[in-house]
Structure 1
């Protein structure tokens, strides 16, 4: 049974290194376990190359047939833990760092004080992580980006983009009047995932939509670092207005093109439609749920 658990971990992670870290063993020991399992079954379960690991036909069959059964066992064991008076357990969340900073950080101190036996793991990722295959309890995305087969819980109000730059930058450069003017400016860009394209800045006014491919010296995969680049005078940033607002009010940033910046449906917590949701996860959902203007 332990060997099958080891196989499931490797097959799902498609990596001995990642699976070993999750199981708390060394990659070499895990590889030895899988080889012994394959020898006893008389079939090869994993195809190994120098770059990746993937289930063979037999391995995929075992993964699809046995994997859900082990998931059900774990779920039933967790449900036994629900008989205790205080919610307990580990919750894994994937989200961007700006969502973690602005939505999760403010509520976590009080949450941990109320539920000392619950731990929360936050994994920062700007890509569209598959929370089911990657074994997350939930993720955080814009409401418009969530699949219809997921349960979505609003975490905050709608927000719009904000194009900002430091006062020192604008002492050296003119204010853009229309989005097309950005092609003559130094802009700080974002690439959401390693293999993804650079985000084209979105604008909308009077029913007219524009996407501008801005150029500049700095490319990040984090809105927090883009904000810092703007504060340091490197160039213009296009970030959520809730990140820019305190710096605009303090005079550290100047906003431009406000009448062109579109509004987006706010961040939502999303998770699969499960019949058995732990009391720890239910408590977390209630703690982060949006209840009015912030």
Structure 2
């Protein structure tokens, strides 16, 4: 088959799947103009229009839909064969694309990557940090890492952490000026640092756990952010009381830059799970990454 024709067909399928030239370009590591040129060449070779394009949207034409209906199974067969060849290598090689929320990226994935790098030097990892919810299939990730309640359906999931402990903290300067709360209800008289969920846009409702009883409470918020590191920095700056992951706060508690408040009131987050599509043939590189995450 004409090499340019096969390449153009693969690009055409990627563009339709991504829904835009820009997203397809990011997935393929090419420029949008290069993809546009490839589509013009493909349509010229086939002498038929495959995409209806406007400044705001694109969609396959009826001829493009008919082509995709036959093309997708063929491309899936090629990927399956490549996956079988991949298992025959003496050692894993290739790239693994991972989407994880920031705490998992920093405190779970990164500490386990040196062992993977040592044992499998030909495996590279692309770690995309995103605290919102992501469709890992549509965005072409090999796997995602989220808390159990945020997993996509029809996925294989593997627990890679214990429940994640939290701690309420504030700076010494803040406490010297505002006093230290003794009870969750005391927060009504304090300034609080809150988290806004990236996907839903809602501000997280503070949770408390005392003697096995969990409760929620609205607190007066003086600062809101959608980044957990900014929450920590805001607490260090004396903007108020924050609820942080214990691992994130520990260095600052040890240095005295932050002080634990409301001991015995902080809840825990569910364990982190690594999840991936059940219908996708794992590559040798992904299996090596999975092994590193399970054994960390």
Establish whether TM, by shorter chain, passes 0.5: yes
- Residue deviations 1:124-165 (CA, integer Å, cap 9, x gap): 101111111111111001123224522111211112332211
Counterpart-to-counterpart distance in 1, 2:222 and 2:252: 22
Q: How far apart are residue 171 of structure 1 and its match?
A: 0.9
Range moving further from structure 2, 194-203 or 131-140: 194-203
Distance change >3 Å, CA 45–CA 97, structure 1 → 2: same
Distance change >3 Å, CA 53–CA 165, structure 1 → 2: farther
Query: Residue 91 of structure 1 aligns with which residue?
Result: 96
Aligned 8 A contact 2:100 2:130 in 1: yes
Aligned 8 A contact 1:96 1:222 in 2: no
Task: Find the partner of 2:284 among 269, 279, 286.
Answer: 279
Task: Give matches, 1:69-148, under 5 Å.
Answer: 69-147=74-152
Counterpart-to-counterpart distance in 1, 2:163 and 2:125: 25
Query: Residue 257 of structure 1 aligns with which residue?
Result: 262
Query: Residue 20 of structure 1 aligns with which residue?
Result: 25
Show structure 1 runs of 5+ residues with no match. Answer: none
Q: Matched residue of 1:105: which SS?
A: helix
Q: How far apart are residue 208 of structure 1 and its match?
A: 5.0
Aligned 8 A contact 1:200 1:214 in 2: no
Aligned 8 A contact 1:163 1:256 in 2: yes
Aligned 8 A contact 2:86 2:284 in 1: no
Distance change >3 Å, CA 175–CA 280, structure 1 → 2: same
Counterpart-to-counterpart distance in 2, 1:267 and 1:65: 39
Show structure 2 runs of 5+ residues with no match. Answer: 1-5
Q: Mark the structure with the bigger radius of gyration.
A: 2
Q: TM-score, normalised by structure 2?
A: 0.85
Task: Find the partner of 1:6 among 11, 28, 32.
Answer: 11
Counterpart-to-counterpart distance in 1, 2:193 and 2:239: 8
Q: How far apart are residue 203 of structure 1 and its match?
A: 2.6
Q: How far apart are residue 102 of structure 1 and its match?
A: 0.5
Counterpart-to-counterpart distance in 2, 1:24 and 1:71: 21
Distance change >3 Å, CA 94–CA 234, structure 1 → 2: same
Q: TM-score, normalised by structure 1?
A: 0.85
Q: How far apart are residue 173 of structure 1 and its match?
A: 1.1
Counterpart-to-counterpart distance in 2, 1:256 and 1:281: 42
Q: Matched residue of 1:259: which SS?
A: coil
Aligned 8 A contact 1:48 1:54 in 2: no
- Residue deviations 1:82-119 (CA, integer Å, cap 9, x gap): 21211111100000122111011112122101111000
Task: Find the partner of 1:215 among 221, 224, 249.
Answer: 221
Please give the root-mean-square deviation of Cα atoms over the aligned residues, in Å: 2.7
Distance change >3 Å, CA 185–CA 145, structure 1 → 2: same
Count of residue correspondences: 289
